[in-house]
Every structure is written in structure tokens, then in C-alpha cells.
Structure 1
Amino acid sequence: MKKDIFIGILVGLIANSIGLILAATLLGGGDDFTTVIKAAAKEGFLGKLISLGAVLNLIAFFVFIKKRKDYRARGVLLITVILAVCTFVFKLF
């Protein structure tokens, strides 16, 4: 059970990282990833960029639900909630 939740957390982190890279690349206007992230942090929309990256977690969650891997889906959901809290904190400060 704990192993499956940990696998779900890893999949959620990887999916979010890939989504963040894709969002930064597509919305970056030709700039490289680090430039886009620095500009997003400076201009205050890093939380929105992280939220866009979390869209891939939705796909991973439903794949695990479809395959009846409920504990892995729980891990993806857990990391998604943690990312939502982080996004909220970014908005406050």
C-alpha cells in the first residue's frame, strides 16, 4: 500500500514536471526554460504556470483509476493537493 502511494507521488511529480516544462516552452515565446521560470517568478505568475503543469496529473490520475490502482491514484491526488497549496502560497506572497 505505501509503495503504491509512493509510486503515485513519483508519477505525479514527474507528470507535473513534464507539464511545467511543456507549459513554459509553449508559453515562453521562444525563451529557454530557466528564463521563463525566472520571469514568471519576477512577474508573479509562477503559481499559474505550476497549475498548468499539474494538468498532466489529471491524466495520470484517471489512468490509475481506470486500471484500478487506487493507491497510486491516491498518491497522484496527494501531490496535486500539495501543489495546489504551494500555488496558493505563491499567490499570497
Structure 2
Amino acid sequence: MIKNEVLIGFLIGLLANFIGLILAIFIFTEGAAVGVVIKQAIIEGFFTKLVSIGAVLNLVAFFIFIKKKQDYRARGVLLATVIVAISTFFINIS
């Protein structure tokens, strides 16, 4: 039961991060296609910055779960955020 709640929170955290990434692309670019922007971001080395900006949307999911007293789902969102942060760190140093 607890593992399912953490897994749901984790998946929502990843989904929120992905949606935040797409929103960041739409906000900071001038109507370019998402795939093109992602490829260009990887080539120019600012993809990790876009992913980090996209993770801001995880705050919304986290605080919603905290307010609803769904602590295990909030832990899943936090876990997703930490994994994204560690991943961007390793991508950035390589």
C-alpha cells in the first residue's frame, strides 16, 4: 500500500517535470517545435537547465499532496525531484 502511494507520487513527479519542461520550452522559445528545441538544447549544452526549470512544477504537486495529507505521494514527488536533480548533475559534468 505504501509502496503504491510512493510510486504514484513518483510518476506524478516525473509527469509534472515533463510538463514543466514543455512549458519552459514554450515560454522561452519563439514558437519553435519542441523536438527541435530539445535537440538544439542538447547540442548547445543547456538541456539540463531546461529540465531544472521544468522541475519547478514539482513544487505544485508536492504542496498539493502535503495539503491533502497524502504524505507518501509527496515523498514520491520528492524522490522524483531528487532523481532528476542527480541526473542533471551527472549529465552536466560529463
Same fold, TM-score > 0.5, yes or no: yes
In structure 2, how many angstroms separate the alpha carbons of the residues matched to 1:86 and 1:27?
22
Aligned residue pair count: 93
In structure 1, how many angstroms separate the alpha carbons of the residues matched to 2:37 and 2:7?
30
Partner of 2:33 in structure 1?
32
1:73 maps to a residue whose letter is A
Partner of 1:48 in structure 2?
49
Partner of 1:79 in structure 2?
80
Shift of 1:29: 1.9
1:13 maps to a residue whose letter is L
Structure 2, unpaired ranges of 5+: none
**TM-score computed with the length of structure 1 as normaliser:** 0.96
Partner of 1:20 in structure 2?
21
In structure 1, how many angstroms separate the alpha carbons of the residues matched to 2:91 and 2:84?
10
> % of aligned pairs identical?
57
| Root-mean-square deviation (Å) | 0.7
Question: Which SS does the other structure have where 1:42 is aligned?
Answer: helix
**TM-score computed with the length of structure 2 as normaliser:** 0.95
1:45-66, Cα deviation, whole Å (9 max, x unpaired): 1000000110110110011011
